[in-house]
Structure 1
Amino acid sequence: MKKLIANTVADLLQPAMFKKYAVSFLLIAATCFLNYSTSFSFWLRNVAFSHALVWYSLLFFFFFTAGFLIQNGKELFQKKQVQFILIAGSILFALKVAMPFHKLFPDSIGTNYQKAFQQPMNWFGALLVMLPLLMLMHWLLEKKWTLFGIKQKQSLKAYVLLIAFMLPLLIWASLQHDFSLVYPKAAIVGRQLGSEANPFHYLAFETAYAADFFTIEFFFRGFLILALSKLIGKQCLLPVALFYFSIHLGKPMMEAVSSFFGGLILGSISYHSKSIWGGLLVHISIALFMELFGFIF
């Protein structure tokens, strides 16, 4: 684990990367200004599936492409497999975000339950659809029916220490005003179901929320990082981190900005460990602690 941490730090603190980080921060700052300080929003609400699919495909493609250009100009686009991953990745995650799986709910379940579990239904639906598609990506790229990063390569004990180290920061974040506007996400259960809400409802919501991180980790730290790393090595980290930032534009600004750093760190961990499980443990733990602290504070 010490070697993994040392390699991650070395990846992120290369002097050659500082200028590229500066350009990335300018892009992130401009995006955040538009998204959080003006009437314009990159994240759509209540639009048709076709419109959402096109918009998010273009949005993700823009940030993914920007990452490649910042990292190494046009040189990284010369490989056809890189071009394929750039286009397929943007469309796949747009599909994940845009598909209205909640419409599969029967009308008999009741309006309140439909509203309370709309997002959990989308999370579970995305997991069931995305994993086979990611297996298809693996077959198209390497002729193997499996998932990138599915093999556990090392002990997960050290990741528990990393989570403990991050707890003070999470507590501080939970005390911020914009945090309280989003977390706990499961509070929607209480708002929609009122006196009907019980512990099972909250548990179902949080289980679906945790399941969504399997989709995210297999996509970003599995498919994107591990497939691209075989083609362009460590140069994949920055483009994937900017893509990862773009999917957080519907969340509080601090979370969106920090997601870029999280994408770099988790991407480097996946790159060196060749597995998604350490990053997945950290990601799910952080998310559920944010839920817990949202209820407490």
Structure 2
Amino acid sequence: MKPIWDALRKHLRQDFRWNLYGTLVLFLALLITFNYSVNLERGIIDSYRGNPLRIVWYFLLYCFAYYGGLLIYLGFTKEWWRLKNPRFWLYSLFILAVLGLDGGFYGYNSLSRALFDGAVYSYLFHCFTNVSSALTVFLPLALFYYFVDNQRHHFYGLQPKWTKLKPYFILVSLMLPLIAWASFQPDFLRSYPTYFDSNADEFFGVSRWVTTLLYELLYAFDFVSAELMFRGFMVIGMAHLLGRGAIIPMVVCYASLHFGKPLGETIGSIFGGYILGVIALESRSIWGGIIVHVGVAWMMDLAAWLQKM
């Protein structure tokens, strides 16, 4: 755990200001309160499922969160000159467009219904939901990286770094008591497990564990794409434009990604996003974040599944 604490202490020594972080907390509180008061994501944005306007809605939400967090940071650091760099606008608008596309894309719905005459629609829908980021995230980022980005950071921190990963497994294990407590909360159990039993195992003539394992592997893939966008592109990819200021707008935007989740998970994403952002900035790798993110996600599904047995 020492490398993680060292990275956090180093970052806080250089970045922390009471007025800055206090204003950030207030902004996040207002944003979260508004979302859960009017049911912004599930009640308004998701009502446009299948409509291209859903992508636009998500784009506007992420823009407000990201640029709002950035303006707070620049207002206290007086680094307004960063906004004069055209590459900042190219990078930031690009990743926010990718986020909007990934959040609002719904093409996998018709594909799920078309395959096998819809006999296993529910199962295919959830699987395609998780793997669709190969099209909506990985492909756009790969094209941007090879044709626009002039950095050499091994595709936004995705280069394998298998050394010094032990602290992240320890960090995942420390989350176990909190997840166990959350699994007794009604709000948690309304959202998890993310995969519900279907007739897919009978349809394909395989064990239930085979279809469950496939779903969970694709579920993990979705978290890899999330780390690539938020810690990879927004932190590692934009550090040359924003320095340490890349973390705060990412955190606010990352919190808004969870607006359709239970309130406790949204609040937890703020702290988790901040810690993983600092780790990515210091290590130039997103593998620590992938381990933590996937490990916690799998434990949440398992805890909820055990509660509902």
Normalization by structure 2: what TM-score?
0.87
Question: Structure 1 residues 194, 86: CA separation in 2 closer, same or farther (over 3 Å shift)?
Answer: same
8 Å Cα contact 2:232/2:280 also seen in 1: yes
Q: Secondary structure at the match of 2:285?
A: coil
Question: Structure 1 residues 193, 274: CA separation in 2 closer, same or farther (over 3 Å shift)?
Answer: same
- In the other structure, the counterpart of 1:121 is 128
1:261-296 CA-partner distances (Å, limit 9, x unpaired): 111100000001111111101100000000000111
> Is residue 173 of structure 1 aligned with residue 175 of structure 2?
no
1:158-185 CA-partner distances (Å, limit 9, x unpaired): 2111111121112112222210110001
Give, in whole Å, the separation in 2 of the partners of 1:236 and 1:117. Answer: 36
Q: Secondary structure at the match of 1:34?
A: helix
Give aligned-pair identity as a percent.
Answer: 28
Which amino acid in the other structure matches residue 88 of structure 1?
F
**Structural mapping, 1:85-96, within 5 Å:** 85-96=91-102
- In the other structure, the counterpart of 2:22 is 22
Q: Secondary structure at the match of 1:147?
A: helix
> Is residue 78 of structure 1 aligned with residue 84 of structure 2?
yes
8 Å Cα contact 2:251/2:273 also seen in 1: yes
Question: Structure 1 residues 15, 79: CA separation in 2 closer, same or farther (over 3 Å shift)?
Answer: closer
Q: Secondary structure at the match of 2:90?
A: helix
- In the other structure, the counterpart of 2:263 is 253
- In the other structure, the counterpart of 2:66 is 64
8 Å Cα contact 2:201/2:210 also seen in 1: no
> Is residue 134 of structure 1 aligned with residue 134 of structure 2?
no
Give, in whole Å, the separation in 1 of the partners of 2:238 and 2:276. Answer: 15
Give, in whole Å, the separation in 2 of the partners of 1:144 and 1:150. Answer: 12
> Is residue 45 of structure 1 aligned with residue 46 of structure 2?
yes
Work out the number of aligned pairs and report it. 294
Q: 1:104 aligns with which of 111, 126, 129?
A: 111
Question: Structure 1 residues 108, 276: CA separation in 2 closer, same or farther (over 3 Å shift)?
Answer: closer
RMSD of aligned residue pairs (Cα, Å): 2.4
8 Å Cα contact 1:245/1:256 also seen in 2: yes
Of 95-104 and 141-150, more deviation after overlay is shown by: 141-150
Which amino acid in the other structure matches residue 131 of structure 1?
F
8 Å Cα contact 1:138/1:146 also seen in 2: no
8 Å Cα contact 1:127/1:214 also seen in 2: no
- In the other structure, the counterpart of 1:289 is 299
Q: Secondary structure at the match of 1:284?
A: helix
- In the other structure, the counterpart of 2:155 is 147
Q: 2:218 aligns with which of 188, 208, 215?
A: 208
Give, in whole Å, the separation in 1 of the partners of 2:24 and 2:127. Answer: 32
Q: 1:184 aligns with which of 179, 193, 209?
A: 193
> Is residue 164 of structure 1 aligned with residue 165 of structure 2?
no
Give, in whole Å, the separation in 2 of the partners of 1:53 and 1:128. Answer: 15
Give, in whole Å, the separation in 2 of the partners of 1:149 and 1:200. Answer: 31
Q: Secondary structure at the match of 1:105?
A: helix
- In the other structure, the counterpart of 1:240 is 250
Of 80-89 and 198-207, more deviation after overlay is shown by: 198-207
Q: Secondary structure at the match of 2:46?
A: coil
Give, in whole Å, the separation in 1 of the partners of 2:278 and 2:15. Answer: 16
8 Å Cα contact 2:83/2:89 also seen in 1: yes
Question: Structure 1 residues 15, 131: CA separation in 2 closer, same or farther (over 3 Å shift)?
Answer: closer
| Structure 2, unaligned runs of 5 or more | none
Q: What is the CA distance between 1:252 and its match in structure 2?
A: 0.5
Question: Structure 1 residues 194, 131: CA separation in 2 closer, same or farther (over 3 Å shift)?
Answer: closer
1:138-168 CA-partner distances (Å, limit 9, x unpaired): 2312166962102234321221111111211
Q: 1:278 aligns with which of 262, 282, 288?
A: 288
